[in-house]
Amino acid sequence: MSPLKIKLFVSKLIPNNELKIVEEQVCLSKELYFDRPETNWEMISPLYIALLNRDDSESAVELEKLYCNYILEHHPIGWRDGPCGPYGGKDCETTGKCLFTEKDGKVAGSCICSDFRARGYYLMRLKSHKMPQHEKGYRTVPLHELFHIYQLSSIADPAVSRDDLYKFMGKRMGNNTVDVAWWMEGTATYLQHYFYAQQPGAAPNSLHNEMRRYLTTDYNRSGLGPLPEQYKNAGKPLTEFTFQEPDKTIAYRIGAWFVAFLVDEVGVDKIFEFYQGLEEAGSFETQFVTTFGKSHTDWLKDFDIFLEKPYEEKMAIIPN
């Protein structure tokens, strides 16, 4: 299998043991996601990983300067057209605060933060976790973010428009131009916990506990009630939940439950089969029917019925 081309940018005071965890999870993600026969390796790397100290915004600003200088040297067009360059905005030009810190000055959260087709590289931003109590976050977040790279790399055409790419990804449905989270984030969220739970040293019952939390709580202390009730009371299909709150929290976690429901029916390998044939199929819906046997709308109808079942029946589909 081909190698991943990776460069790490690490903030000051990140201990070596925490850096090692990130490196381990990147290697695990390569094994789980990319070491497959149909992988489009030319669409996967270079990958730049910025590991930020959650409690030190000053080091994040310093690291951003180093990162942007590297991009200028190695990807001048990506630098020119991206947030590091002259069109990145006033804050980027004057203080360097645009990629690794938020507008309020706090250290930015985790994401895949660059458009590979436009810039020629991926940037994966990771924020440190409090150790040892939050080691699980160190291990699951890279699994989530790198699955997004797997998803995006399934389309080999370098000239595909963003709108068409998002339609392939299920991030835009039909003729709608609003980005929705149910499938792209639901798969990444479920699989990060599904694969973490299988690793030696994983927290006991981690997948079971995570999915129970999505089923029985509001997740983020919003006071809006359990997520399934919020979903039901919203009065709209899962495919219409956006990346804005409170939609976002619901879409990620109820989306994860939809994927758990789907995986219980067809097996996890079908998720990868879906992406392996997506570009050739020509559309999200065509490949969904081909891979999973019926339309996403029919699957969602079955899922909504499933959500009405007793708690024990729902939890029974989650692997121990």
Q: pLDDT digit string (tens) for 105-147?
A: 899 999 999 889 989 999 999 999 988 888 999 999 999 999 9
Task: Report yes or no: 119 and 81 within 8 Å, Cβ to Cβ.
Answer: yes
Q: Are residues 171 and 149 in the same domain?
A: no
- 98/213 same-domain check: no
Could you read off the pLDDT of 250-293 as tens digits, one per residue? 999 999 999 999 999 999 999 999 999 999 999 999 999 999 99
Domain of residue 302 covers: 165-315
Does the structure show a pLDDT above 70 at 93? no
Looking at the structure, do residues 146 and 182 belong to the same domain, yes or no?
no
Q: What integer pLDDT is reported at residue 95 of this predicted model? A: 67
- Shared domain for 192 and 132, answered yes or no, is no
Same domain? For 114 and 148 the reply is yes
Residue 47 sits at φ, ψ, to 5 deg, of: -120, 125
* Among 26, 25, 33, 1, CA closest to 268: 33
Give the model's confidence band at 96: pLDDT under 50 very low, under 70 low, under 90 confident, else very high. low
Alpha carbon 140 to its chain centroid, in Å, reads 10
CB 260 within 8 A of CB 186: no
Choose the final residue of a domain: 104, 130, 153.
153
Evaluate whether residue 60 is within a structural domain.
Answer: yes
Could you give the dihedral angle defined by the CA atoms of residues 170, 174, 180 and 186, in that order, rounded to the nearest 10 degrees? -30
Q: What is the pLDDT of residues 208-257, one digit of tens each?
A: 999 999 999 999 888 999 999 999 999 999 999 999 999 999 999 999 99
Report the number of secondary-structure helices (H) and strands (E) in the chain: 16, 4
pLDDT at position 251: 98
User: Whole-angstrom Cα distance, residue 90 to residue 51?
Assistant: 24
Chain CA centroid to CA 20, Å? 21
Point out the domain boundary residue: 108, 123, 153.
Answer: 153
Q: How many domains does the chain have?
A: 2
- Look at residue 94 in the predicted model and tell me its pLDDT: 59
Contact 240, 171 (CB under 8 A): no
Amino acid, single-letter form, for residue 214: Y
Query: Is the residue at 20 inside a domain?
Result: yes
Higher pLDDT, 104 or 215: 215
pLDDT computed for residue 1 by the predictor = 54
Q: 121: which residues sit within 8 A by CB, 6+ positions away?
A: 45, 46, 47, 48, 71, 75, 78, 114
What DSSP string runs through 88-132?
Answer: S-HHHHHT-TTSSB-TTSSBP--EE-S-HHHHSSEEEEEE---TT
Q: What is the dihedral of CA 282, 146, 8, 73, to 10 degrees?
A: 10
Mean pLDDT estimate for the chain: 93
Residue 2 has pLDDT above 70, yes or no: no
Handedness of CA 212, 214, 220, 221 (dihedral sign): negative
